[in-house]
Every structure is written in C-alpha cells, then in structure tokens.
Structure 1
C-alpha cells in the first residue's frame, strides 16, 4: 500500500540492524531481548504524535466482533517502550458501519506509520517506521515460542540471530524446497498457537482456585503441549543449523529422486481407520468398482499419507473422521475423494490457522465434509485450479473472523454441488481470481460471496439463503462515491466480469446483493486544526476493554494469511 512505509532489506542489512540493537552484551539471554528492544525503541522512534494504519489482528477482531480483515487509521497518543506497545486513538475506520472503542493498547508490530502526517508536527518518521519494521520482522520471523525458556547463561544473539536470518532468506530466495518451507511455516504457526494456550493455562492455574479433577486435566494438557513444543523445536533446529540443513535437504532430495525412479505412474492410496472386517470389505467392494485392476496402497492415517503422496496420486477415503494436524499442501493433480455418504467422511482440524493450502496447477476434492469450525479458514487457493465437487464445508457459526475459502490473484476455484455454512464470509474472490459456482448452496453466514475488482465470477443455479448481511458483496473502485447499490442478483450485471444465471436469494438479512465503493483511509494532514486529538476522557467501557487487551500485545498474533513474507497491512 503506497500510503505506508514498506521495506525490502537484504540479509546483511537486517544483520547489521539487529547487531546494533543488541550491541554491548557478551551474553544476552532470550529473557533480556524485550528489555533491550525497549531501550532501543526509546532512542530511535517518536513517542507520540504520529498517525498509522492499524491492521487489527484476528484475535482482536474476534474480541471486538469485527470481521477480519479490518483496517483503521489511528493516532498514537503514547508508546509504552517496556511492553512494546502503543496507546492509540481511532480516527477513521475503513468500514464506517463498524463501531469500535476509541482507545486501544496496540502491539507496535501491528502499526504501519503513514507517509502523510499532520504538517504542523515535527516527526522523525522514517526512523520510527524503520524501527517498527525491524521489531515486526524480529518477532514474526526470528523469535521462536520456546526461546523464552532458554538457559539464562545462553547468548541468544550468537546462537540464533544469523542462523535464523539465513534460514529466512534461503526460504525467500527459493533455496529451500517449497514443501519444506510450507512445513516449517506450519510448525511455527502451531508452536505459537500452543504456546499461547500454554500461557493461558498457566495463568489460570496461578489466578484461580480450581478443583482437583480440573487441575489434573490442565497439568496433563500442559505436559502434552510441552512435549509437542519439544518435537517442533527439534525439527525446526535441524533446519536452522546450516550444516544439518544441508544434510537434511540432500537426503530429502535423494529420497525424492528414489521415489521418482520407483514410482512410474500415479498411485492410489486407500485411507481407512481401524474398524471391523465388514466395514473394510464394504469399502473395498466400492473401490473395486472404481479401480478394478489397479494396484492400491492401504493406509490408516490421512495426514501422514498426504506427505508421502506425489503428483497425480489419488487418495480414496472410507467413511470416518480424519484429523488434519498440520497445514496440508496438496500436490499437483491430486484427487482427494470420499466413498460413501459425504456427511460421514469428515476432515477436521484442531489448527486455528487454515486446513488446506493449494499451490497447484489442478486438484480435485470430492464427496467429503470439511469441518473448519476450529480453523480460521478452510482453504486458501494461491495458484492453479481447484475443484470442490459434492462437498460440504462447515464453519463454527459464531466467530466474525472465520472464512471458508479464499481465492488469491491468479488462482481459480470451481464449486460444483457444494454446501457452505457457518462462516462470517463463506467465499472470498480477490482481485485477479476466478470463481465458478454451479448448483451450490451457501447459507447461515454473514456474507456468502465477497469479490473485488477484476475477479471473474460465474454463478449458475446457486442459492444464497439466511445470510445475516448479504448474499453477495462486491467491493469496487468503479462506483460513484457515496453510492451503495442494494438489490437482487440482477444488479450484478453492472459488473462486467460477473455472470449470473438462475441464482436465488432467500431470507438474506440486508439484501441479496450489495455493490459498495472500496473505502480508502488516508492520513489527515490538518488533524490538529479540528482540535487536539490527544485530549479526551476515556469512558469506563473503553478503559475496561484496554485492561482486557493488554495481554494481547504479548501474543504477537500471527496466522498463515497474516504472515506472508511480503507482509502488508491490507493482506487478506
């Protein structure tokens, strides 16, 4: 976004900057990093008086019952250097229909200073923007959830700084295979999630009196979290160490070459959980009708089998419940197909990130139910064409941050005979994406389909019903300012890239379709001419909210969709 500062730095630039931050210490343990950041920020950034774009984190959006993403313009009243956060006042909201408290304590890494500022205020803005970028990059890409438990005699800087920087830039420059990079990002996302959960349980044990049974349950859960963090840490440290990483990638490459030599044609994987003989025989009889002469491989665990699979493989699922325990990236040409009643073939996940991540030329998911009630997003399509056929995709029905399927620029989605419900937004088509829907029903959501300029959309024989807001929401810059078009599906004919035929809407709260001009937030150059924005008495409600949210800053909330390498305040 042109109105905020963005940085593209080399490894050596980042390394010099961080050495400046932590200079003067022979041994600096992880527990001392936050304190040193506070000292450095106090010397290098403006303590107040500047405007910034605040991209509200998913966590805060959920607390405030706001849709994600929500973007606001804020004025910084004060910076709390010791806690790496700022007290801000909201001065403009991207969507004026959303009402939020005026004052907030916000982690600095969620703020992007705007290039334009009030012309009457003298600011060292370039330095402020740069040091916030340094802080954001550090806590997103370099500081790991387990670091805080490191030995107090261990020097974090010499042990981790350069090695983790090189790991990041090796991934960015394509020196590490994409599948390995995705696996690493998935592990780190999981680690941050369970570390937050660990801290919440520990706080609950300290502050509340709980019965013996609950205490034992919490202790058992803490033990499992600790074990999982150790597992993730070991796997990540192999990639962090340059020598181990080289050996690991070499062995991985050799294994892939061996697999290519041994596998002359696509494989058929049969996935069935342990069960009775009768259920196995019934499943095999159904498979035999599809593949009467082909060789098959039988496996009980879907997640592990997907890791073994290769391009153009088929994964045939029996009726049962399958847990997706890491963000799953399907290979090119893969078919993921359920046999039986789709309501009884359920893929669910305990991840609070995304379930399925597609970066393929083509892929088919057929006759399954995706239970994304615990995840923030059921699927992200980044590249190629993905088809969902006869699938049911389910959200939690409560959260304002849950999205069904997100289609990014250059990617294509096809929905055939599908159902989607329980999300805030069921389907998002970003600018440059392509979405085709046939005989599909979307219901019990806030918005059924949200699309942007230059997205190609074809909707045929589909139904949008019981949407709390609108069935279809179009954001466009090609609309006269201040004009909102609300109506039935015929008004979509105003959008050249959208084609609809036999589309029904029933019981949609505010209307079937909203065509809305894209909101723009611009910094205010004469802010002080309208009164001093630093002067205001906060209400009791606002201060209570601030007290509740002070812990949010320590989470440095990060999700897969928020944490793309070229992070931007308007990333969806």
Structure 2
C-alpha cells in the first residue's frame, strides 16, 4: 500500500470532519478528536497493519443516472480547514507556481494506490466504470481499462462497449485523475486515494488559473493565490459575499480566460510568421492590447479574492428596482403600519398626523400589519407611518419612489429587524426619500444596512444597528444624515463613493471597524465627492475615525511635491483662523455626549479636536488638488494648452467642523494605500 508517516497523519486529519453517520466499522466507533489526530505520534501509526485500522471514515453516495453503478466515495463536502491544511502542509507547501505540478506529483506518489482500485470516469457526456491498472504521477493521469461487467450511463445511446474501447485507445488508456471518482471500499485501504484525487480535482476546478504559471514567482504560490481563492470559495458557499459580487467575479473570470486563450493563439501564430512582416506587426499590436486587457482583468480578480481589498473597494451594484411613479388617479396615500391597532393609538394618530389640518382635502389611508408590505404598496409621494412595535421582516426594502417613511414615536420604540439570509436591508433609488424616527436592526447580512444607489435619501433621528457595513453612498447618490446613531458595522460605518454627496450633521458613529471610509477618487474617470461633516461624534471604532483610500503611486507623488499650491496655503490660513476663533469659545458651551454624560472640555482637548478636523480637510483637499494637476497634465499632453480652470478643476466641497474623534483604535484619520 502506498503511503507513509506523512500520508497517514494527513488522512486521519482529513477523515475526521464532522458529518452524518459513517459507514462500515467506523460507524460503530467514536472518532478520535481532531487534535489527537493532528498531534498523534507518527511512528506509532505508521507501524499499524491494515487489520488494526478501524475501516473507512469517509461516506459514500450512488451516482445519479439510470445505470446502477457501485457506490463511490463522497469527498466533495470537505471543510475549509481540511483543504487548507492539505494544500499548505502536504501538497503545495512553499512551492512556486511553476513547481505546482511537480509538488502535486510527489504528493500523489506518497498517498495514491498505483493499481487495484476501480473508479467511475465522469464527463459531461457519459459515466463509465473503469479499473485502474497504473498511475502516471508526473502527468496526473491514471492508466485504466474498462471494468467487467461493462457499465455506462449516457443520454446518448451510441456509447457501446466497442465505441468506449476505441475512445480509450485514442487516449492511450490514460485519463486525468480529476475525472475519476473512486469506488467505495469500507476497509479504509483506498481512503487516501479518494481524498488525494478529490484535492487534485478541487484544485484544478476552483484554484488553478491557466495563466498562473506565467506570473512572476515573487513568493510562494500558496500565500499568493491558493489561500485567497480558497477563502473566497468558502465565503461564497457560506453566503458571506454579495450575490452581485459573485456574478461580477465569475464574469471577470470568464472574460480573463477568453482573453488569455486568444492571447495564446495569437502568440502561437506569431511564432509561425516571417519576421518583419506586416501581419506580424499587426499581431504584435493586438497582442499588446490583449496583454494589457488580461492584466487589468487579473487585477480586478485579485481585488475580489483578497478579503480586505474586497471590503475596501466593494463593487458597483446595479439596482434593477423600477419606480412606479404617480398613481393613475393622481392620489397620494398614507400607509399606517401597526401590528395591533388600539383605539387610543388610532385617536393619537388622527390628532397628531392624519387630521392636523381640517380644511385640508381628504386623504386615503391604508392599514398594514408589517412595514415591508406598506413600502411595496407605495407610489410616488406616499407616506408610511410606522406605529410603535417590533417588526421582523425577511425581505429587502426596495424604495424606488420618492416617499416618506417615518416612525410615530421614539426610534427605540419602533424597531424593524431583518432576519434571514439576504444581500441588503434597505435599497434606495428614489429621487427624494425621507426616513425618520426608526431603529433598523440587521442580521445575517452580506451587504450594508442602507445602500443609496442614486437620488437623495434623508435619514433623521434614526438608529442603525449594523451587521456588515453601515450606510453606502454610491456614485451620483446623495445622503443627508442628521441626529442619528450608527454602530456595530464590521466594515465601515459609512462608505462614500466617488461622485457622491454626503452631509453628516450631529450623528454618532461608533463601535465599527472604521468610522467613515472615503473610496479612491483619483482615477480620471471618477468625480470628486462632496463631503460635509459638522458636529459628529466618531468614537470607539476599531480602526480610524475617517479613512481615505488612495493608490500608493499618489502617495509617492505627494511626498515629492516641494511647493504647496495657493489653495493649500489659503486653506492653512483659514483653518488656523478657525482654530484661533474656536479657542476663544467659552468652555462651558462645549459639551460632548459620547459617554451619555455632559462634560466640559479642557482647552487642550479643544485644540486637539480642531486639529483633527483640519487634518482631514488638509488631506482631502491635497488629494483633490493633486487630481486636478494630474488632469491638467493629461490635457497638456493631448495638446490642449488653454483650458478653463473652472471647468477643469473638480474641487472637493469640504466642510469639516466641530467633529469629535474619541477613542478610535488607530486615531482620527488615516489612509489606506493600495
């Protein structure tokens, strides 16, 4: 039997994953703890004979189809840590991309039975039972013959015994290992073989890319490619990646594979062309374009594969919500949401909301038991009033029309909680949406609690208890958020995209990974966001209070700039004057509510507060100025020497005054370089 100390230890750690009831003798015994299997003395286990082994610890299943195949090993449901440990410790280790095949072959030589086992050869067209008589480890192929009796399952009836024998002869009886599913054996003898083939199959189906071998081997292949791709695969399986991002990733992967195939064909044709021919010159230009396209696609794939960059850059989700517009009869409706409507509550509603102006024309009122049905029934100009209560919803609030969603009471008394798997909680695409006096609680999410795709959304006197990111303001969207409280985001409390407008006033943003994340806007295709932050309290976040994402090349350029622009000089004078003026403010007028108590600031605290605000303004305006200089340079290179500075400059509208940054893990402001 093939194997050894390394293979034996690997098998036991792989086979002990939790799962349904085991088959064979293993079903009668309690599996050893994983820790014991990992650290068990290898010498003792390598001396064990087959009779001492407890039998297989793997499960089996019967292949689907009309033909009665024997059971095969079920190995496709391995856990993340099982695959991770196998690739890192036993198969790939610290190999380079160019050494992957060699390392894999060496591993298979240690654990794979060279003959004496049967398998189902599975393709997209047919399945057939074969018997393995030898293994070509270097080629990752098995030498096989048709099993007796002949078993084949296919929707096409032409795969007779003679036809299949002819096909095998054309293939020289050599089949790729990843196309073989090992027939089940409860003795445990072929467990290592089944698991080894599963790892090879999974690797070439989900991890390996056809262009990997041509990339530079800067550091080991496992760290650079295998680990991030493996984590992404399991993040997708466990619903931790937005569905839109999954679609984007798969589309990018298909595009990159297609472009790389064209590139290989073009490179092959170039080798057959005569030198200095016109066709060769044309092909060279096409090849350079394809190469550039492939590099861009690969970079986008890496951004999604990297968990941190995936969070920082996100993706541009296109909302398919269609606005209904005004009702055909032009009528506006007030929707009242209440789990139970009592007479006292109805009287209060009539007095405070519904009948404030007796002379006003009559309005139609519709009653709903949950807020989701009320929003789905809305047209342009409608109002939704949510009465006190705890409402649990399982769908997405898709608001495409300009409506008002308001709570009747305090936010803590009107709680809307989202449960169940889903991408988003509140999706806003309406021209002018207003949400007030409601507490939103998010669970089991993979996207932010509120996403504004376009249009303006006003959030006032609300509480947002987040799960992933908080509020996302997409390009061309506008957020006005005031007197609200946001906390608990595992990403950023607020994400501000290029070309958006974000006004934050008198809010609390706390206990998030980052307080506010400003996406990179230095690309020539991006517009600069307009940001206003006044009197916000940003505290107790794990990272920075405010983070600006920008490319490393910009940071290098900025360090080399010797002369500051007039705008920056004016800004420094202005912020200095603001600091001097602020220092003259009476101390008893400066209060902070971060801890829920009123406390006086010391003069040093005031100076630090003004300094934090000025630092953010300086950095954002410097980035804006640099973007303008880069654009002028590009226009100059194109021969445009006289350009209207007012049209060219995309100055960032920045008003950052009176904000308090307290107890943030890394400080008030930082940059994320990529």
TM-score strictly above 0.5: no
Structure having the higher strand fraction is 1
TM-score (norm 2): 0.33
Structure with larger RCO (C-alpha < 8 A, sep 6+): 1
TM-score (norm 1): 0.39
Q: Which has the larger radius of gyration?
A: 2
